[in-house]
Homo-oligomer: A and B are copies of this chain.
């Protein structure tokens, strides 16, 4: 189809979302989305540059990569752009000492961060740690600060586990924003800085890159606003209504990562 040839012309680099594109998570593990292990391998054997760009904030980057390797994926920690390391850099640059409302599994990412006498709140996909008590503590701390700073690792509405859709950090970010009358700083997709950082490491310009994700707003809309192209896969949190989203239209919709890679390898100029 000529249309795909036009849509994919000049692509030199690919950013891949992880959850819902490579695998669906579940308590204690996950299952690969059919065809995705082979699709990643084929993509990495091609002339295209590949980087993984995730908002995963319930596991450290090391644990996430370890899980993916056990599922059969060819992936290493250095190939992954994830929000916790990006947030640590911002915390250090701005002299911020966070109160952390995060999952235990990601605490290790903040080992070298001073968390004494907090002057900001950082939230991530904390799962069951989003108790009323913990939310109230974060709220009270923000209300006591003269300049309340709330950092959110992503602002996803929900994600998909094998057991069903799960509330993501964005919902709790909105709760604290409303209660405190503030606006959070989002570190992760769809923040432009986050995509730009991934592109810089990848070494391609935005117009030469394509994002493949399952989130019509966070992945597709965010990447397009940075000047990239973006495909939405019909896996993970994809819902049929996404193809008629009032604000975001992907450059293409594909059944899964395997189909996206087929199209890329078939149509992108060698």
> Given contacts A157-B181, A158-B179, are A132 and B127 in contact (CB under 8 A)?
yes
Q: State A146–B176 Cα separation when bound (angstroms).
A: 28
6 residue pairs A–B, Cβ–Cβ below 8 Å: A128-B131, A129-B132, A140-B165, A143-B165, A171-B176, A174-B177
Q: How far apart are A105's CB and chain B's nearest CB, in angstroms?
A: 15
Interface residue ranges of A108-137 to B (CB < 8 Å): 126-133, 135-136
Residues of B close to A158: CB separation below 8 A: 139, 143, 179
Q: Is A170 part of the contact surface with B, judged by Cβ < 8 Å?
A: yes
Copies in the complex: 2
> From DSSP, what is the main secondary structure of chain A's interface residues?
helix
**Closest B residue, CB atoms, query A136:** B167
Q: Is A172 part of the contact surface with B, judged by Cβ < 8 Å?
A: yes
Number of interface residues of A (CB under 8 A): 31
Q: How far apart are A180's CB and chain B's nearest CB, in angstroms?
A: 8
Residues of B close to A129: CB separation below 8 A: 132
> Given contacts A129-B132, A131-B132, A132-B127, are A165 and B178 in contact (CB under 8 A)?
no
Say yes or no: B133 contacts A128, CB within 8 Å. Answer: yes
Say yes or no: A135 contacts B130, CB within 8 Å. Answer: yes
Q: Is A215 part of the contact surface with B, judged by Cβ < 8 Å?
A: no
Q: Is A201 part of the contact surface with B, judged by Cβ < 8 Å?
A: no
Residues of B close to A170: CB separation below 8 A: 178-179
Interface residue ranges of A129-155 to B (CB < 8 Å): 129-133, 135-136, 139-140, 143
Q: How far apart are A215's CB and chain B's nearest CB, in angstroms?
A: 13
> Given contacts A133-B128, A158-B139, A181-B157, are A171 and B167 in contact (CB under 8 A)?
no
Q: State A130–B136 Cα separation when bound (angstroms).
A: 11
**Closest B residue, CB atoms, query A128:** B132
Residues of B close to A127: CB separation below 8 A: 132
Residues of B close to A132: CB separation below 8 A: 126-131, 167
Residues of B close to A176: CB separation below 8 A: 171
**Closest B residue, CB atoms, query A174:** B178
Say yes or no: B136 contacts A166, CB within 8 Å. Answer: yes
